[in-house]
Amino acid sequence: MKKIITGLFILVITSTFSQTFNAKRLDSLFLLLEKNNRYMGSIAISENGKTIYTKSIGFEDIATSKKSGINTKYRIGSISKMFTASLIFKAVEENKINLNQTIDKYFPTVKNAKTITISNLLNHRSGIHDFTNEADYLKWNTQLQSRAKITERIAAGDIVFEPDTKGQYSNSNYVLLSFILEDIYKKPFSEILNQKIISPLKLKNTYLGSKISLANNECYSYTFDGKWNKENETDMSIPLGAGGIVSNPTDLNLFIESLFAGKIVSIEHLNEMKTIKDKFGMGLFEFPYFEQKSYGHTGGIDGFKSVLSYFPAEKLALAITSNGINYDNNSILLCALSSYFNKPYTMPSFNNIAVTTETLNPYLGTYSSLQIPLKIDITQKNNTLIAQANGQPSFPLEATAINIFKFDAAGIVLEFNSDKKEMILKQGGKEFLFTK
């Protein structure tokens, strides 16, 4: 549920079809990632409802060297929001609720509840603060939380903006939608999810998560700082329909294919989900590829990162789930798309240079930018440069030149000019100037 900076992926789409699918290219990338200890995760690509490629590398559990496979299950984070939005629209079709009703009936203590609508929750226009951004969130996120406690935390937050005046991503919106579903169906969210989506679609590897179970082919998640470190587990009583679902790529592809085929909600309601306002749909994002559009969502919780995307014109579904990244999921997605659409692709190079403490010292300090409201602290540990943006976890940087460093997991490049006390942040095709 916690977000990292990610860039939009853009690629020119041609009319080439999957009979020219370049599986060897993707195989080569995953071999390179595995050889260089860069990635742990799975991918599935499907066209017209038929899987045309799957791959899995890494471990479910590093401590026991238990390898992952195509049936390994991952926490999918905010991709869960697609399921929750679908459930809300099913409730609308069953005349249980309507999008324009306000939420004061369910949450009288939430500020502006008398003017915030179901619709505002769905497309992140409620103005309710994101409780996962609270300073103490990581102090209690591994502990069981009651509905009353989570609601109290959400209600205690300040209003970010007046309802329906703008859009801003907030996990609180979808936790509240989960509670609304439980109220109208008088069942736990897990049962509603199973009854309305999982069982009808025969999703064999999808359910609301609980404590991670290796015996059930689930995997732990990891972060990398020279070695893989096991991440703590968010207690799944917290994210619910905002980020609590477990699945794998083949199930995710079946879900999104069914959604766009009108098998979960009506095409009319799917079109509402797809309608973008201030960058947000209702449970969906739009990913542009020049003339072409795909729809889907990304996800992140603990060390898990995932992406699910669907191209309606080609009936192409792509799902990536990972439990350890030292290389950007978005770059893997670009490789997959170039393999399908027969476009050029350059394999990554992992040739880094050794640097000394004396080399790194001039770069240390706190940097700020006039372009974005972000401060970044640069420190060093064991001849490795460490970056930490305010309110975000720290991450190690690898030297590709004496003054250029990268963090592949988020597609970040930092270029230093110590004489001018400047640093340029490059990500997603954009550049931002920072000054020490």
SS (H, E, C) 78-111: HHHHHHHHHHHHHHHHCCCCCCCCECCCCCCCCC
Which pLDDT score, from 0 to 100, does residue 290 have? 58
375 φ, ψ (degrees, to nearest 5): -110, 140
The residues, ordered by sequence, that sit 6+ positions from 266 with a Cβ below 8 Å of its Cβ are 89, 93
Retrieve residue 292's tokens. 């072409």
Provide the mean pLDDT of the chain.
92
Retrieve residue 128's tokens. 């309710």
pLDDT < 50: residue spans in the chain: 1-19
Residue-wise DSSP of 19-52: GG--HHHHHHHHHHHHHTT-EEEEEEEEETTEEE
Residue for token pair 């991670």: 212
Which pLDDT score, from 0 to 100, does residue 5 have? 33
Residue 346, Cβ neighbours under 10 Å: how many? 7
Which pLDDT score, from 0 to 100, does residue 17 have? 43
Which pLDDT score, from 0 to 100, does residue 428 have? 76
What are the structural domains, with CATH classification, of the chain? 1-350 (3.40.710.10), 357-435 (2.40.128)
C-beta separation of 132 from 171 below 8 A: yes
Which pLDDT score, from 0 to 100, does residue 289 have? 66
Q: Is the dihedral of CA 23, 245, 154, 183 positive or negative?
A: positive
> How much is the pTM?
0.86
What is the rounded CA–CA span in Å between residue 264 and residue 193? 12
